[in-house]
Amino acid sequence: MWVMVKMVNVLLAVVACVAFLLIAYQADPPSAVHNPNPMQQNQEQFTRMQPPYYANSNK
């Protein structure tokens, strides 16, 4: 009885490891050109917001 439970536990662990390996194998590889600035999108949005702000503050 206990041998069967241990075999099922080992089998479940092996299936989980294989599933994780398959998921990792199908994942996209990291891009070769890495952007060192994670806030680039926020900087571009801030740049778009600057001219109206300065135009209103100069009055």
Which residue is it, tokens 């662990």?
13
What is the domain extent for residue 14? 1-26
Average confidence (pLDDT) over 18-45:
75
CA distance 35 to 56: 33
Q: Decide which of 14 and 57 is more confident.
A: 14
- The verdict on residue 42 lying in a domain is no
Q: Which two tokens stand for residue 30?
A: 């990291």
CA dist 29 and 23 (Å) reads 12
Look at residue 21 and tell me if it is in a domain. yes
pTM (2 decimals)?
0.46
Whether residue 13 lies inside any domain: the answer is: yes
Place of tokens 């206990």: 2
- Determine, yes or no, domain membership for 20: yes
Structurally, the chain folds into a number of domains equal to 1
C-alpha 44/C-alpha 48 separation (Å) is 6
- For residue 56, the one-letter residue type is N
Please check the confidence at residue 19 and state whether its pLDDT lies above 70: yes
